[in-house]
Amino acid sequence: MNEHLNFDCFLGKRIHLGVCGSVAAYKSLDLLRMFRKAGIEVSVTLTDGAQEFIKGLSFEALGAFKVWERMFPTLDDTFGHLEPGQAADAMLIVPATASMLARMAHGLADEMLSCQSLAFRGRKLVAPAMNPAMWDAPATVDNCSVLAGRGVEFIGPDCGDVACGDHGKGRMAPLEAIYAAGLRAVAPDDMSDRHVLITLGPTREKWDAVRFWSNPSSGMMGASIAMAAWLRGAKVTVVSGPVNWWFPDDVEVIRVDSAQQMFDASMDVWPVCNTGCLTAAVADFKPVPHGEGKFKKEGRSSLGVEFECNPDILKTLGSIKREDQQLIGFAAETSNIMEAARGKLERKNLDMIVANPVNLPGAGFGASTNSVYVLDRAGRSEEWPNLPKTEIAWRIWDHLLLN
Ligand code: C5P
């Protein structure tokens, strides 16, 4: 369930992908495909070790525009060892072996990838993969700390089973983590001064031991907005209803069930945030609980359930909003969309509201696209065409940053 990572607004960016000799090498093919789908140009260098596991031709077939396999390729490519440093926006080494980390730490340039790495001044990321004993070895520990001190970013490794049957730290990070880190390395860093609170998903309002009141919100809109903010450098806190979107390790995710729990978590976090975007489909009402245990149907031909109001999280955050904070709300509407949205923008003291007509094909709950109207405090109002939710997420931040 990673549709919230389907950003394709990276046209004109280029990543240089280095691949080392490890059983995890084949995964870099998927990574190449994912970057290509996001509109990113990818060039590749395979070390000798990598070529034992995988062929350069596979990368070419999947859309790499250039693949290097050895140090002194041909006469018309005399400066291949410098080219990525001159033209790529970021360099990712996936998987990175212990020997590649050692070469990088010591400035060796005795084969193509380490030479290209030495000549690369831009952002460098490595996704190590190796046996836990090699990862824990003092030499590797020292090399990693030298590289981290020079600004090389590490993605993983994770704990788990490794290829040789051992268990421990050394398994390559999951592809989505490497992919997201790669996107962030080439994304604009225009939200790094922001700590963003996002609410997403439905809430569940318990009635008896086995039943609850809820709605079919998938949380995809909020998950896309959270990822877009993270990619653009923001610190992100997500308060998530009962849905299960993947987020990078440094996104704080607070999992809740009910509207009251979402309210409590959001109120806790809001004072330390400067931006809020509340996308959750919060149940406005909760059933008055039946009591302990399961309600029995025997002897009944109908059922009346009484409801009471839930707190309005958006309105409450708006009412305590400080000068240095900005707040975005969503509104699902059936008629008079602009008018209703403008009213909510004022009443809830928002900086921006994103309204969508419900029951349109390709919009709202569960869809991966949406059709929205955007209104803001400065009086601007726009109607956006039907777009992927990830694209809407990106544009929402563009719009807010204009203010
Ligand atoms: O008033 P309405 O329910 O249409 O407002 C929708 C907006 O308010 C959404 O941003 C939603 O996340 C938020 N909301 C909330 N708490 C509620 C109900 C809605 O934060 N109890």
Instruction: Say how many Å lie between the CA of residue 291 and the centre of ligand 1.
Output: 27
Nearest to 363 by CA among 381, 385, 386, 382: 386
**Residue with CA nearest ligand 1 atom 9:** 330
The pLDDT-based confidence of 37 (bands split at 50, 70, 90) is: very high
Q: Would the pLDDT of 121 be above 90?
A: yes
- Rounded Cα gap, residues 197 and 274, in angstroms: 8
Alpha helices in 107-197 (DSSP H): 112-118, 132-136, 138-149, 175-186
Region 343-358 average pLDDT: 95
Which architecture characterizes domain 195-287+307-401 according to CATH?
3-Layer(aba) Sandwich (3.40)
Q: Would the pLDDT of 26 be above 70?
A: yes
Tokens of 254: 């607070």
pTM attached to this predicted model:
0.95
The pLDDT-based confidence of 70 (bands split at 50, 70, 90) is: confident
pLDDT (0 to 100) of residue 357: 85
Identify whether 9 is a catalytic site residue. Answer: no
- Rounded Cα gap, residues 220 and 363, in angstroms: 12
The pLDDT-based confidence of 78 (bands split at 50, 70, 90) is: confident
Q: 3-186 has which CATH code?
A: 3.40.50.1950
Using CB atoms within 10 Å of the CB of residue 254, give its burial: 0 to 12 exposed, 13 to 18 middle, 19+ buried: middle
Encode pLDDT of 220-251 as tens digits.
Answer: 999 999 999 999 999 999 999 999 999 999 99
pLDDT (0 to 100) of residue 73: 64
Encode pLDDT of 41-67 as tens digits.
Answer: 999 999 999 999 999 999 999 999 999
Contact 309, 316 (CB under 8 A): no
Encode pLDDT of 144-170 as tens digits.
Answer: 999 999 999 999 999 988 888 889 999
The pLDDT-based confidence of 290 (bands split at 50, 70, 90) is: confident
Q: Is 313 in the pocket of ligand 1 (CB under 6 A)?
A: yes
Query: Annotated catalytic residue: which of 20, 164, 277, 309?
Result: 164
Bridge partner list, 119: none
Q: Would the pLDDT of 364 be above 80?
A: no
For a ligand 1 pocket test, name from 278, 336, 344 the mutation site with the most ligand atoms within 8 angstroms of its C-beta. Answer: 278
pLDDT, greater one: 368 or 350: 350
Q: How do the domains of the chain map onto residue ranges?
A: 3-186, 195-287+307-401
Instruction: Say how many Å lie between the CA of residue 5 and the centre of ligand 1.
Output: 25
Q: What is the mean pLDDT of the chain?
A: 95
Q: Is 28 in the pocket of ligand 1 (CB under 6 A)?
A: no
pLDDT (0 to 100) of residue 350: 98
* 8-state DSSP, 207: -
Which amino acid is present at 18?
G
